[in-house]
Structure formats: C-alpha cells, structure tokens
Amino acid sequence: MSSIATIIKDESLASTLRIGFFSLAACSVVGLAAYIGYRAAGPNQTYALHSRHPESNDQIEKVLESLRLDDEKLRQIMQLLEQEMDAGLSPATHKNADVKMFPTYVRNIADGTETGQVLALDLGGTNFRVLLVTLLPQSRVELTSKIFVIPQSIMLGAGVNLFRHLADCLLDFMKKENLVKPGVRYPLGFTFSFPCKQEGLASARLTSWTKGFTCSGVVNEDVVNMLQTAIDEKGLNVQCVALVNDTVGTLMACAYKDPNTAIGLILGTGTNACYMEKLDRVGTWDGDYNEPKQVIINMEWGAFGNNNRLNHIRTKYDEEVDLSSVNPSKQIFEKMISGMYMGEIVRLIILDLMQQDLLFIGQRDGYGDYRTPLFTRGGFYTKFVSTVETDEGIAFANTRRVLEDMGIRNPTFDDCAIIQHICKNVSKRAAKLAGACLAVLINRINKPNVTVGVDGSLYRYHPRFKRNMEKCMKNLVNKNIKFKLTLSDDGSGKGAALIAIVADRFQQSQLKSIPSFDDNDDEEVRTPIQSSLSNPISFNIQSPTNTLIRTLP
C-alpha cells in the first residue's frame, strides 16, 4: 500500500509541475505578445523619427527654419564682425562703433613662472570676496578667500563709505591670515563688475551704477583711486595695481597653465570676449610702444548688431525679446545667444506653436484657456533649456518634469519631443553664433595653436553647447590653426590676482631700466621721472598649505 501511495503522490506532483510549467509558458507567450503589440503601437525610436517626431512636421519645421544658420550665413556674420572690430579700433570711427574694442592696458599674460602672494577683491553685487592667491612653482595655485556682505545702507549711501567698507574687510582678512607685516607690500587686483571707462591698467572711471548700487560721489570718479585712498587710510601695505574685466580675468586664469591662451570668453547671463591684439592694429592706443607690442582688447561684443547689421538673421522672436527688454535696440548679439534671453526665445516659440494648435492639444481648461506660467514673460528659464536637452531616448523624464512645473499635466510624447526640438534649435543657433565670432578672433590671431579660456553658466552647464561650438568652428577656423576651448578657473578671483602680479612684474622691469640720479643732477629732470613711478612691491612667500582652496568662515 505504501508503494502505491508513493506512486500516486509522485504522479500528482508531476501533474502539478506540468500544469505550472504550461501556465508559465502561456503567460510568457501572452506577455511577449503584449510587449510586441505595445512596441508596434507605442512610440519606439523608429516610429518617433519617421512618423511622429517634429522634424517630419512641416508646420513646426517652418517655424524653426528661421533659427538655422548654414556656413555661408556664418561666414557673412564673420565678415560683419571683422568690419565692426576695425571700426572700434579706429580713432575715426570708434565713437560711433557698436563693438567698442576697449584697450585694457593688460599687455602681458601669465606664463606659469610667476611666484609670490597677491591679493584680489571681487566686487560684483551685494556680496564680495577677498582672496589671497599664492602662486607656487610648476603653475600650482593656492587660494584662500572670504565672502563679505555689503549692507544696503552702504549700497545706497556715500561712495566713500563703500570703499572704506571694502578696506575694513580687507584689513580683517589680512589680520586673520597674518599678512600685516612691516616692510612687506602686496599687489592687489580689483575685479569691479560695473560699467567703467578704463584709462589705464590701474585707472577707471565709473560710468553708471547697476545691480542696486546708487552710491553717491562715485560716477565719473576713478574707482581705483578711491579704493587706494581707503586702503591707505587703514595703513595697509597694499597697492591696487590693476582693475580687471571678467573676460580678461578668464583669459589670464587659463594662461597661467596654458601659455597658448590668447582669448577670454564669457557665456553666461551675458556674453563678452577679449583677445590679445597687436598694437599696430589698435588705432585708439594712447600708451607707449615698448615691448611687448600687444594689448588685450575688451571687445564688448554683446552690442554687435545694434546698427541693424544682424537684421537678416533675426527672427520675430528675437525682435519681441528686444522690444520687451529694459534696453531696446541695445546688446542685440547678446540677446540672441546669452543665458538671460535664451529661455525667453524658447517660450515665445512655444506660445506661437500653441496658438497654431501644434502643441499641448487638449490642455485647455473648461473656458478654453491654458493655466500655465508660459504666458508670463520670463516664465521659461534658460536652465530649463539645459535640463530638457539632457534627456536621452524616448522617456523624456526631465522634459516631463519641466512641463509639469509649467502646469502642463501629463504631456504627451509628441509634446515632449517638440519641446526638446525647440530647445535644441535655439541653443544650437546660439552656439553657432558664438563659435563663428570666436573663429574671427582665432583667425585674426593666426598662430599655430590658440587656446580660448571660457567661463559662464551657459557654457558650464549646458550639455551640448561646447560640442556644438566646436563642431561649427572646425569649418570656420583656418585649417593651419589648432584651437582648444578650456573652462576657466575663477577668472574674477584668480585671474584678477594673476593680472596684478604680472602688472607688478612688468612695472618692476621698467624700474630697472630707469637711469639713476646723483645729487648733481638737475632737480627739474629728476623729479618728474621719479614721481611717475609707483613704489616697487616685494612678495612674501610662505610655506604651502595642505589645501589648495580654503574658504574662511
């Protein structure tokens, strides 16, 4: 009986296993069939590209076609920029030129051999930084910095109090770093991010306040002189030897590690560029012609096109952005490529497609209206452009998140694909324009190897901007020139310090070339020469610390 029971149990188990196996197989077949059906009906890559992707939609492509620039158009733009540059450099046409081409009086770049300690002040808003930069052999840099707040009462008060506040903070920093020592003087580079007319390497007059500052008694005054007066009142052994533009600082920060650096570029909220120019091309130069016969030019290229010379490539969206801005008909080139305006261009294109019922179909409410910030000026941030373009494949997770933040509930696959397509076209146009204008500078410099130092949030965070620039530039830069784009490292801080130390090194070399005078020399001859020279600056080298970057509390 026991053997019979065992057989029955075994047959029952086998039967159960057979049933389970066939059930599993059946489920697998059903699941596979369902998946195949989904793939056949759903938005796979091939289907998206050939049937539902916006590139196949003639109406959408007609809207975006106005953004596209081929190499022929880009070469025309390059010729126009070259003409504008020459106008800015000529004394006969400089006054009315849009691209101003200001000489910065910076004539030497760092070459990596600089050593010593130098201070920097970086003032660009309600906070400012004090930095100690220690330059070590083999192009090594140590930075110690502290951020200070500027109270609103000082921002709106007398200008003399602003500079006294800067000097107070500098003194506080130097005491904590044990830099207040008898007989030791420090050069200082001053990054002052407000509109100025530069009259020398260490001389610049403020033309207007921005960013919420209204300090009295500063406009049309020499800000370097005001800072130096405040520093001297504190009894500090510090001399401001250079006022720095952020593009020049970007160039200098890169040049310290790469001597082929000859261009600085800012691609962020705004845009600007500088480059090293030969003195014989600078008709507006009012300095000496001693070696080196070169000077860095601050282009202010954001104003390119103010004279309507870019109208042939501007779209109706560019025109609307300009008209609604705080400075209509100004900074035309900047409004086509910079971070402040890119998101707004995308928003206007989205609205245009919505009005043509090509986008967000079915998103209207019961009253036939859309409930979305897209109808608010500035409602689509440029950071959203970068976020959308990080999406790969067909999931569009980031794009969906952005659209849902915009009040678009459950956006369709088509909606997401179209939004990404718009963003790519707008950012690619910006990259091409920046790349073409950069190619003008590289070809003008005409050296075998040219490095471009670049900084700014747009360049730093957009996933494709650099790649699109380089792809465009390969067709426009002369074939005998190799170029490289390098992300700059703290141009407003380290760059300012490097400019200060290079300026001081050049100043000391000039001191050595001045003849000595004895007591029998004519006082009238001796005094003017000696009084025109600044006191030489000595450097205090300290042992390197363990950390390369240190921020004080």
Which positions are catalytic? 129, 193, 246
Q: Is 19 exposed, middle or buried (0-12, 13-18, 19+ CB in 10 A)?
A: exposed
Q: Is 325 exposed, middle or buried (0-12, 13-18, 19+ CB in 10 A)?
A: middle
Classify residue 290 by its DSSP letter: P
What is the residue type of 86?
D
Give the pair of three-digit tokens for residue 266. Answer: 């800012």
Q: 252, 495 in Cβ contact below 8 A?
A: yes
d(CA 229, CA 222): 11
d(CA 261, CA 250): 10
* Backbone φ, ψ for residue 142 (5° rounding): -120, 135
Beta-sheet strand order (sheet of 549-551):
238-244, 186-192, 116-123, 127-136, 140-149, 549-551
d(CA 106, CA 243): 10
- Backbone CA torsion sign across 311, 314, 316, 318: negative
Give the pair of three-digit tokens for residue 17. Answer: 């296993």
Q: 302, 54 in Cβ contact below 8 A?
A: no
Q: 120, 227 in Cβ contact below 8 A?
A: no
What is the residue type of 477?
V
What is the residue type of 149?
V
Q: 188, 500 in Cβ contact below 8 A?
A: yes
d(CA 84, CA 89): 9
Report the 10 Å Cβ neighbour count for 361. 11
- Give yes or no for a cis peptide into 515 (omega within 30° of 0): no
Cβ-Cβ contacts under 8 Å for 165 (sequence gap 6 or more): 150, 154
Report the 10 Å Cβ neighbour count for 144. 20
Which of 77, 97, 73, 76 lies closest to 85 in space, CA to CA?
97
228-254 residues labelled b (16+ CB within 10 A) or e (exposed): bebbeeeebbbbbbbbbbbbbbbbbbb
Q: Are strands 186-192 and 203-206 parallel, antiparallel or unpaired?
A: unpaired
